[in-house]
A and B are shown apart, each in its own frame.
Chain A
Amino acid sequence: QVQLVQSGAEVKKPGASVKVSCKASGNTFISYDINWVRQATGQGHEWMGWMNPNSGNTGYARKFQGRVTMTRNTSISTAYMELSSLRSEDTAVYYCATGATDAFAIWGQGTMVTVSS
């Protein structure tokens, strides 16, 4: 079964960008969409968007359109989520997720992104 391993924690200043990676094990990387979700401390989950690793097609939640970009490198089975114009409210744990039967069957371990001056 596929496993997702994410990049390490990041600390960024307001106005900067952050790029989080999500590497999939096995040979199924291009088979299922990759979704990104974030969770601020003590808060619920917020879906950010999806990417099809085979075609590169993407769909972003309205809240993040214009600020988020999802890409992939199929040669290394890795998906990326880049968020720009960071502000303190973007401080959160960012997760990638995927699955054969549904969008969030399997989750990465999460990446903490802290936005602070």
Chain B
Amino acid sequence: SYELTQPPSVSVSPGQTARITCSGDALPKQYAYWYQQKPGQAPVQVIYKDSERPSGIPERFSGSSSGTTVTLTISGVQAEDEADYYCQSADSSGTYVFGTGTKVTVL
């Protein structure tokens, strides 16, 4: 089955930049989406269609795509950004798939 692979964890100091990658063979042909999830809460979409930011999401969140890898970048990380982040896309048949998740720790 199709998989989206993310690093398990990323650590970053406040004010620095966090980059989270997501790799998958179908990413050149399918949009990627990113979600932030804090403990005990539902996911919140922070990026859609590779690089678009939903209304209300801070500008420090951005997304990019290159070949089979998409990247979520958090510039000027704040303590409130500590959370799990998941990418999501679809395989060639249209089945939705979520990434393995990355825990962002703000030091």
Taking Cβ atoms with an 8 Å cutoff, the residues of A that contact B are 35, 37, 44-47, 61-62, 95, 99, 101-110
Contact = CB atoms under 8 A, between A and B. Distances in A.
Query: Which of B54, B96, B100 lies at the interface centre, i.e. has the most chain A CB atoms within 10 A of its CB?
Result: B96
Contacts of A107: 42-44
Query: Which of B43, B48, B49 lies at the interface centre, i.e. has the most chain A CB atoms within 10 A of its CB?
Result: B43
Query: Which of B42, B54, B101 lies at the interface centre, i.e. has the most chain A CB atoms within 10 A of its CB?
Result: B42
Interface string B38-72: 00001111001100001000000000000000000
A102 B42 contact: no
Nearest to A105: B45
A104 B35 contact: yes
Nearest to B98: A45
A45 B43 contact: yes
Interface magnitude class on chain B: 10 to 19
A111 B105 CA distance: 27
Contact of B100 (A44, A101, A104, A109): A44
B86 A105 contact: no
B97 interface: yes
Contact of A47 (B44, B45, B97, B99): B97
Contacts of A45: 43, 86, 88, 98
Given A46-B98, A61-B95, A101 B42 contact: no
